A = this chain, B = another copy of it.
Amino acid sequence: MLVFKSAFRLSLLICFSFLILNETAAAQDVYAAWRKDWLQKAREFTPALKTTIKKPVGIVRIEKDASAFQGWKAVNAGGADQLYSSSINKRNSSIVVDFGEHLTGYCTITLKTRRSDMDAPVRLKLTFGEVPAEIATPFDPYPGGLSRAWLQDEIITVTVLPATITIPRRVAFRYLKVDLLGSSPNFDFNIADLSFKASTSVRMTPPALTAGTSQIIKDIDCVGLNTLKECMQTVYEDGPKRDRRLWIGDTYLESLANLYSFHNDSLTRRCLYLLAGLANEDGMLSADVFEEPEPHSHNTRLLDYCYLYNVALKEYVAGTGDKQTGLDLWPVAKKQLDIARKYALPDGMMDYQKANKEWWVFFDWKDGLDKQAPLQGITIYTLNQTYELAKILGKENEVADLPAFARKLKNAAHKSLYDKKSGLFISGKDRQISYGGQAWMILSGVATKAEAQRALKTLPAVTDAVHPGAPYMYHYYVAALIASGLNAEAKQAVIDYWGGMIKKGADTFWEVYDPVDEFKSPYGFFPVNSYCHAWSCTPVYFIRKYPEIFQR
């Protein structure tokens, strides 16, 4: 009886706590008045996907080649006719099909008996790869940190031929390897048809670059456009292979590139409303959100991405003139400023230590990057950009303190982080010199133009400078070069870095690219990297926004 009584009391307690928590939670939703409307608008602006049926261009052999990207290259081994006329059997148990371009969507394969009668089921493995090494590298035993299931190998059993099978999973790839895992020696079969329903929400072709544009810039623009197109589905995805979802940081860069290319402004608008509608009840944005099974946020608090929402909103409103969206979402932008207000110390420096305890402070996939300078810079940049947005929307009075606040942080940064002797900005107690630190000190306006040019020109000679770890940080570096008026250097950086990927065979730009380590992976296994990644598409933005730099 005592047990029962205690259990009863406990359950009452749980009940009450739950009610109280719910009450509190309801009271805390700072967006309660708007959330439903934002999500409704996000739904309304969902683009219809444009689908195209694609066919293989031929078959290839994946060959070892130390000089090729990640040690493997695809070598032409016949046309599509040869694919359809080859039996799959023990003597020909592995075929690699080349679709000639990066595609995202659904694969359908038709198999037919070719000789004698099918007297047993067939077991096939279909491996979809964005790059040749992904096709050649065994996936198991899997050493990676992320889910093994991101890797795109699907195993099917076919009991009756002919059969037309659509792989249920959406894949992103250029190469498809078909491996025979089981069959009977008593019959042969072949691939009678192979087709791919490719999807994107891009509906137009942007204008060609000016006639005088160099071939490498044209190539970079083309691959950038392909990258962006592949990532533009019903949201701006970070990568169509992985993670296939809306992250603020990627969305910011994609929407910039879109503004100067595909003009699918409705998609940007959808993503901005969706992120707002799925923000945390305390007003802070989630770094990423999922569309399925119904839109919901991922519980990831990433500081710099909250800031970049404001910047993305400002760029969208400024670029499209759509003030209504700006006004609708202004409360969100205003709320993100709480981060700056909370972590700014009386001396004008951001309290990185404290922020880092409470947030994921990202900036780049780069071990060892000190984030003091980048955080200080992005905070100032966000304050300035948000004030610009307020001006467009006629809301300056609501954030009247911003100019002085930004100035204070700027002066403090210059005082604490600028090393006059070397002409470089330092970061952290170990006085780290990084590309990221310089970039954010320049974009924020902490550096004067002269200081910026000096820092960026000095940087390449600093042997222990922390380089960008991924194209994402490279974007801010190039933006800083342009902001400093180092146009030739900006162009050269784009040619060296993104052009480097093209020289190594990229059909789309990669999530991670370190020119000196082709196997670099933040996830412990390079095949799980995304080789078509949104944040890598920004040359499109640079090339098309600054024709005087890039198109001549």
- Residue numbers of A with Cβ under 8 A of B are 116-123, 142, 146-151, 154-155, 157-162, 168-170, 181-184, 243-244, 290, 292-293, 296, 298-299
Contacts and interface: CB of A to CB of B under 8 A. Distances in A.
Nearest to A183: B147
Contact of A182 (B149, B182, B184, B293): B149
Across the A-B interface, give the 9 residue pairs with the lowest CB-CB distance, nearest first: A148-B182, A120-B147, A123-B149, A149-B182, A121-B149, A160-B292, A155-B155, A147-B184, A147-B182
Given A157-B154, A299-B117, A146 B184 contact: yes
Given A116-B299, A119-B243, A157 B181 contact: no
Contacts of A184: 146-147
A47 to B, nearest CB: 19
Contact of A181 (B118, B148, B158): B148
B293 A160 contact: yes
Contacts of A121: 147, 149-150, 169
A544 to B, nearest CB: 34
A312 to B, nearest CB: 22
Given A117-B299, A290-B117, A296-B117, A149 B122 contact: yes
18 contacts: A116-B299, A117-B290, A117-B296, A117-B299, A120-B146, A120-B147, A120-B149, A121-B149, A121-B150, A123-B147, A123-B149, A148-B183, A149-B157, A149-B181, A149-B183, A150-B182, A154-B155, A160-B293
A245 to B, nearest CB: 8
Contacts of A154: 155, 157
Nearest to A181: B148
Contacts of A158: 149
Nearest to A125: B155
Nearest to A163: B293
Contact of A122 (B147, B168, B298): B147
A157 B292 CA distance: 16
Contacts of A117: 290, 296, 298-299
Contacts of A150: 120-121, 182
Contacts of A244: 159
B162 A293 contact: yes
B146 A293 contact: no
Contact of A298 (B119, B146, B155, B159): B119
B182 A142 contact: yes
Contact of A161 (B119, B123, B243, B293): B293
A158 B169 CA distance: 8
A244 B122 CA distance: 14
B159 A169 contact: yes
A327 B119 CA distance: 32
Contacts of A292: 159-160
A255 B170 CA distance: 47
Q: In the complex, which of the residues A118, A148, A154 has the most CB atoms of chain B within 10 Å of its own CB atom?
A: A148
A170 B159 contact: yes
Contacts of A159: 169-170, 244, 292
Nearest to A292: B160
A182 B169 CA distance: 15
Q: In the complex, which of the residues A150, A155, A169, A182 has the most CB atoms of chain B within 10 Å of its own CB atom?
A: A182
Contacts of A170: 159
A243 B162 CA distance: 18
Contacts of A161: 293
A127 to B, nearest CB: 12
Contacts of A290: 117-118
Contacts of A123: 147-149
A182 B141 CA distance: 11
Nearest to A286: B117
A137 to B, nearest CB: 16
A160 B245 CA distance: 12
Contacts of A155: 154-155
A493 to B, nearest CB: 33
